[in-house]
Amino acid sequence: MILDWISLENFRQYFGRQELTFARGHERRVTVIHGVNGAGKTSLFMAINWCLYQEGVENVGELVSKEAISQAEPGQQVQTTVELSFLHRGERYLLRRGLRGRKGKDGNFEVDPVTEFTMRRTRSDGQSERVKNPIGTMNAILPSNVRTYFLFDGEKIDNFAKPETSGEVKEAIYLVLKLEILDRAHRHLEVAAQEYRQELKKVSSDELRSLIERNEGARTERENAQLRLAELQAEIVSARRKIDDIDKRLRELENAKVLQQERDRIEKALEQRHVELDKITDRIRDLATGAYIIIAYPAVKRAIEILDEKRQRGEIPSSIRQQFVQDLIEQMRCICGRPFADGSPEHQRLLDLMRTRVPGALEDDVLDTNAALQPFGERAERHRQDLDEAMRQRTELVDWIRDLEAELDDVQRQLRGSPLEQVRNLEEQRQGFLRDIDRYNLEIGALAERIENLTREIEELDRDIKRARKDQRRELLLGRKLELAQQAADGIGKVYEIFADDMRSSIEAKTKEIFKQLVWKESHFQDIRLDENFNLEVIDRYGMPARPELSAGERQVLSLSFIAAMSRISDEEAPLVMDTPFGRLSSHHRNSITQCLPELADQLVLFVTDEELRDQARANLEPRIGAEYRLEFNRNTSCTEIAEVIR
């Protein structure tokens, strides 16, 4: 980050709009802002911090120019803004932070608590765009918690050099040199890995393997069953063929011929009766499905009776429509066409029918219900008759079959008892094949049922496997995520140690190099050490720790050396903005710092009093000053104007 220009409007003692442009050349990179005590150096320093980070201000109400409030009319709005432009990695950023307030009729000033902030970025091609994530962007450029090491009050920076402040040194190195980022990334990745591990425990199981094994087992069993089924069917075909052969041979044998022919007839008749029995059984099943008519009939019959009773009592209309009755009365004619006299029984009967008049819709419903229920009885009766007839036919067929089977048994018994051994043997073989067929059919039945069950089981297992595969994909992804998170955390952990050691050594060497350039007693201070606990130590010529004995000026020089070293090591392009940096320094240190400091920062902004920067110190900086301003305080208005010093 290299500061370009700043513009203040009604900011503290800066009434109206005040602007200044920072020096940012390679050679002339120093901006000097002069001001006596109270002229507004700290306010200007505060304006930079507030605009960039909204920090460094405790009460925003104090930011509004009192002069602007005083000049405002009651009810008039006063606006305070700071605009700041800076360059970073080839892009220009423009920041605008502002707040508004209104002067009340009682003269009090009410500040709107909402601060307005805009950040825009202009690329090298001149295109400007709004930065959507300004906090994230600033954190990537110069984080707010790092700013204090680049924008600081010169008189307070000796903290780093105080013996009790190793914590601050460590924090500075952590933040500026990105150790904090590595540390946080390590911790957060460990947490992520831990969460993935927990999640994985929940979804991980051997369910899929078990389901696949069960599925394979079921499929193998079904395949074997189907093979066995085919074998049995082939056996049945073979047995039937052998029975046919036996029958043929029996037909050819004189002593068995008649019996065999008788058996052929009976078997044919049996086959025919079985076909008929199957048909009649189907018919009975169909009739039974519609048997609700018979079951419901008593209720329907009762409903018809109730309707009739109500009609008799005149509670519901007769089965004659009201309009028809009305027409007959008007024509004074009976339903048979014969005229009747007024007051006659026919006339009276029609008038009675009219008395039971009900609304048209109800009349329709009653008549429709009556019409629908009347044929119900006929249908139920017909249904019962059909069912009785089918049952009778079935009983007849069953008796018939029983008789035929008895006849068949008789024939077979005669063949088994034949005096001819050949006939007896053939018949015994035949009976054996028939028993085999029965056994095969039994087994086929059991197998078919098993195959059906297995098919259902396989379908269910297929569905479960599909679901488990989905879970497995999730498990696979979680496993990979865990691997990545854990390896990333471990990797950062390992790199962290190396990197932290690198940074500590680099800072130590650079601080030493700069300190030697800045301190005037360079021969007395032999070494600078930054130990593993980040204690910053100065070693004197006796090899003894000398930090407790450092003067305030020397502590400031040590701190400055440390900050400049961090700036160099971090290699982040950033300005050093220092408020009253030389106040406590003797001329020796002022001279050395003014000589070296421009080389140690990419941009240097110094807020100084006239006393701080004079003689040799001024002469040292002179060739590097690119912009110079004087803060002119007006005693009459208590306002400050920024005046450029023409060089």
- Which residues would be at the binding site for other proteins (CB under 8 A)? 133, 135-140, 143-146, 175, 177-178, 180-182, 184-185, 188-189, 191-192, 473, 476-477, 480-481, 484-485, 487-488, 491-492, 495, 498-499, 502-503, 569-572
Helix (H, G, I), strand (E, B) or coil at 343: coil
Residue owning tokens 């030493």: 512
Diameter over CA atoms, the chain: 155
Min CB(576)–other proteins separation in Å: 18
- Bridge partners (DSSP) of residue 273 are none
Min CB(167)–other proteins separation in Å: 16
Min CB(203)–other proteins separation in Å: 15
User: How would you classify residue 20: left for phi > 0, otherwise alpha for psi between -120 and 50, otherwise beta?
Assistant: beta
- Bridge partners (DSSP) of residue 537 are 529
> Is the Cβ of residue 135 or residue 401 nearer to other proteins in the bound state?
135
Min CB(61)–other proteins separation in Å: 25
> Is the Cβ of residue 195 or residue 537 nearer to other proteins in the bound state?
195
> Could you tell me which residues come within 8 angstroms of residue 436 by beta carbon, excluding any fewer than 6 positions away?
235, 239
Measured CA distances, 166 to 121, 261, 505, 509, 533 (Å): 38, 121, 16, 17, 8
Amino acid identity for residue 561 in this structure: S
> Is the Cβ of residue 393 or residue 472 nearer to other proteins in the bound state?
472
Q: Enter the tokens of residue 589.
A: 């240190």
Min CB(48)–other proteins separation in Å: 17
> Is the Cβ of residue 409 or residue 502 nearer to other proteins in the bound state?
502
Min CB(564)–other proteins separation in Å: 15
> Is the Cβ of residue 11 or residue 53 nearer to other proteins in the bound state?
53
> Is the Cβ of residue 191 or residue 335 nearer to other proteins in the bound state?
191
> Is the Cβ of residue 145 or residue 393 nearer to other proteins in the bound state?
145
> Is the Cβ of residue 189 or residue 627 nearer to other proteins in the bound state?
189
Min CB(575)–other proteins separation in Å: 18
Nearest to 358 by CA among 312, 321, 324: 321
Residue owning tokens 């460990």: 190
Measure the CA–CA gap between 416 and 406, rounded to whole angstroms: 15
Nearest to 519 by CA among 549, 546, 548, 555: 555
> Is the Cβ of residue 503 or residue 558 nearer to other proteins in the bound state?
503
Q: Enter the tokens of residue 79.
A: 């606006």
Min CB(144)–other proteins separation in Å: 4
> Is the Cβ of residue 175 or residue 243 nearer to other proteins in the bound state?
175
> Is the Cβ of residue 201 or residue 416 nearer to other proteins in the bound state?
201
Min CB(498)–other proteins separation in Å: 6
Q: Please report, in angstroms and rounded to a whole number, the separation of the first and last CA atoms in the chain.
A: 26
Q: Enter the tokens of residue 171.
A: 């924090």
> Is the Cβ of residue 144 or residue 526 nearer to other proteins in the bound state?
144
> Is the Cβ of residue 484 or residue 539 nearer to other proteins in the bound state?
484
Measure the CA–CA gap between 415 and 523, rounded to whole angstroms: 138
Cα-based torsion angle of the residue sequence 594, 141, 532, 501 in order, rounded to the nearest 10 degrees:
-110
DSSP class per residue in 181-203: HHHHHHHHHHHHHHHHHHHHHHH
Min CB(114)–other proteins separation in Å: 21
Min CB(516)–other proteins separation in Å: 22
SS3 content of the chain, % helix, strand, coil (to 5): 60, 15, 20
Min CB(520)–other proteins separation in Å: 30
Residue 333 gets which letter from DSSP?
B
Measure the CA–CA gap between 587 and 636, rounded to whole angstroms: 35
Residue 156 gets which letter from DSSP?
G
Strands 151-153 and 109-111: unpaired
Measure the CA–CA gap between 625 and 31, rounded to whole angstroms: 6
Angle of helix 552-570 relative to helix 421-518, nearest 10 degrees, comes to 140
Handedness of CA 494, 497, 498, 503 (dihedral sign): positive
**553 within 8 A of 520, measured Cβ to Cβ:** no
> Is the Cβ of residue 187 or residue 529 nearer to other proteins in the bound state?
187
Q: How far is CA 46 from the centre of its chain?
A: 44
- Bridge partners (DSSP) of residue 270 are none
Min CB(188)–other proteins separation in Å: 6
Amino acid identity for residue 592 in this structure: S
Min CB(197)–other proteins separation in Å: 13
